[in-house]
Structure 1
Amino acid sequence: MTSTSQQYRFVSAAKLPTRKGEFTIHAFVEDSGTEHVALSYGSWQPSDVVPIRIHSECLTGDALFSTRCDCGFQLERAMENIVAHGYGVLLYLRQEGRGIGLINKIRAYHLQDSGMDTVEANEHLGFDADLRTYDMCKLMLDKLDVHNVELMTNNPRKTAALKDLGINVVSRKPIDHGITNDNKHYIRTKTEKLGHAFDPHLFKD
């Protein structure tokens, strides 16, 4: 779930005006060269419970508005939730396709078009169903002076990963958003095979 071999460092920060509000973007890099960013909004005290979202990069959903996943919808909703709360953090991790990369994700999409589900497609390509790690989150949250969090997620692995890192997950907030006719089967698979905590009525046929 986490690893300790990779090292991470903070690089720089800058203002980032968005359609949702003005955030600050914080840049981090791994020794391997992989880059990650955090978006912070507002201010808080070290003892405050801070709403956060850990969001793994999804070019197709986040930037190209694909409806075959719920990623872009969840990214948008998380930013809206943070602004509505008055403060919060979004960690944007560069681990496309649950860690298999963009090209392999498209290869997995091709297999899904032929009848496999998202887990079967990843495994057919020789990958585990989910290769993502979250150990970089500790440095990012420490840098932002965040120690107690309300985690916006449907994925129990994220909650467990943060707790393993010593981050106090005070509560989990569901982020059921963006369920479409194109992604109902995908979401059902995440629920049944990966343990994601979606409300079943949200993707009934």
Structure 2
Amino acid sequence: MKNLISTQIPTEFGNFKLWVQNGERGRETIALSSINLDPKGEILLRIHSECLTGDTFYSLACDCGQQKNTALREISKHGNGIFIYHRQEGRNLGLFKKVQAYNLILDGLDTHEANILLSGKPDGRDYTNCLEILEKILGQKSPIVLLSNNPYKRLFLERAGYKVVMHSLLIEPNLHNKKYFTTKEQKFSHYDAKHSPYIGVTLWLQDVKEQGEIIAKLVNSFEINDQGRKIFLGLALSPKNGDLKNRQLQKHINNFAKKIKNQKNVNLVLHLDYCQQRQFYRELKNFLDSLTFRYSLQIRTNDSATEKINLEILDSLKKENIIFQIRSEQISLLKNPEFTEYFQKTGNYLLLDDSLGRGISESISTTQEKILSIVRKGLSHIAVAGGYDSKKLDKIIALEDFFKIPISVDAESGLRQKGKLNLDKTAEYLKYFFDQNKKPTNRQDKKTKK
């Protein structure tokens, strides 16, 4: 195979085939694979970023050396795996700047802050070479079990068409790397295999009443992995209009939910304005108790005072997830440590939305600055909204590539035409991230044509 050479090497972990892909001297892409690799079987994969201090000198300031050894043992034991050695030292800072980063960390910064100061990015790694050598070794899209704590690596492989399941590679922290572990958890979303980004579609109640069946068929036509991105279908409720007491509405929503086959990976999200009144919560709890499906809640408030937001009440509501919708002027909410800690939990998201359903897009640099202000507070479960459709989702990819964290997205006005949900636009939007098994037919459209 052009530019790729292999040989066999014995190691203390077992015998491997060593692969080297030609490239810049000292930056060649390297991989170890099981001797009798079977691409048709499940591939245990580790993409291991180069770390001279950890891999060679076993520095206690990180867990890289221990992860390397553990991964090689696991792959050897499994008998069908690949270990890719990613030659981008110090999150692609290079060794010299990595040592500079170490000094900044000794001065009080964390690894996220140090990398931004030195390179303008929290993580400058590019996994393209890893993908190239993986494709050459396998020759097909084999099912992958990824040995990693990094959800971005899973997303990167999924974008390339691989079916991926993550298997955590947990190492006990020590006195020297405890802060490093905390930074990876809070600012890079590591160690959180259960947390998944979502692709949201905000529906109106009229959509459910008029097109509920075909919307459900459309969603059911997509293949969604147990790990990885989920689909969130939002439903805006108006307590002021009596929605929480409307039995007919409850029936409509329950019937719609029954039509969703994959309820594990498709979540119905009820959108509500935050309210402090006890009567509101009594009505809300009664309404939620009447629902026959697993649901999430999306809350927004016009207030920026965190002391008025009762997190205990939010926590008491039965739900899968809490999505808290905030505008730029409400970033001050994050000054409250209790609020910040609450949204560090798995399954809770902060939704950045200055558009409020009006379809107002903003530049990627503006969104980037907003996300950075949140990540700096130790929060990485982030969603964005504002005029998104299938043509603007490359912005989500760019944001994920910059921050190296999963970014969720919600779309509303971008999927509508003359106020009505456009099913073709919605399908294109979902197809950006999910494989579609078959296109659903719209019986109503067929009858109309006849």
TM-score by length of 1: 0.86
Q: Which amino acid aligns with 1:156?
A: P
Q: Does 1:56 align with 2:42?
A: no
Larger Rg: 2
Inter-CA distance 178–66: structure 2 relative to 1 (3 Å threshold):
farther
Q: What pairs up with 1:1-205 in 2 under 5 angstroms?
A: 10-30=3-23, 34-145=27-138, 147-169=142-164, 171-197=165-191
Distance 1:140 1:31, change over 3 A: same
Question: Deviation at 1:62?
Answer: 0.2
Equivalent pair of 1:135/1:165 in contact (CA under 8 Å)? no
* Distance (whole Å) between structure 1 residues aligned to residue 18 and residue 120 of structure 2: 32
Superposed displacement of residue 33, structure 1: 7.3
Relative to its length, the structure with more helix (as a share) is 2
For structure 1, the 5+ residue unaligned runs are: 1-8, 201-205
Query: Which amino acid in structure 2 is aligned with residue 164 of structure 1?
Result: R
Instruction: Specify the SS of the correspondent of 1:65.
Output: coil
Q: For 1:123, what is the secondary structure of its paired residue? A: helix
Q: Is the CA contact (8 Å cut-off) linking 1:73 and 1:178 kept in structure 2?
A: no
Contact 2:8 2:35 in 1 (8 A): no
Question: Whole-Å Cα distance in 2 between the matches of residues 39 and 31 of structure 1?
Answer: 19
Query: In structure 2, how many angstroms separate the alpha carbons of the residues matched to 1:49 and 1:30?
Result: 29
User: What displacement does 1:197 show?
Assistant: 1.7
Contact 1:82/1:89, CA 8 A, preserved across alignment: yes
User: How many pairs were matched up?
Assistant: 191
Once the two structures are overlaid, the 10-residue window that deviates more, 191-200 or 113-122, is: 191-200
Shift of 1:148: 1.5
Higher relative contact order (CA 8 A, sep 6+): 1
Identity between Structure 1 and Structure 2 (%): 37
Query: What TM-score, normalized by structure 2, do the two folds share?
Result: 0.41
Q: Is the 8 A contact 1:77 1:177 kept in 2?
A: no
Cα root mean square deviation, aligned: 2.0
Q: Does the aligned pair in 2 maintain the 1:53–1:78 contact within 8 Å?
A: yes
The residue identity in structure 2 corresponding to 1:73 is Q
Which position in structure 1 is the counterpart of 2:302? none
Change (3 A) 1:65 1:33: closer
**Closer, same or farther: CA 174–70 of 1 in aligned 2, 3 Å:** same
Deviation at 1:198, TM superposition (A): 5.4
Corresponding letter in the other structure for 2:143: N
Whichever residue aligns with residue 17 of structure 1, its letter is P
Letter in 2 for 1:192: Q
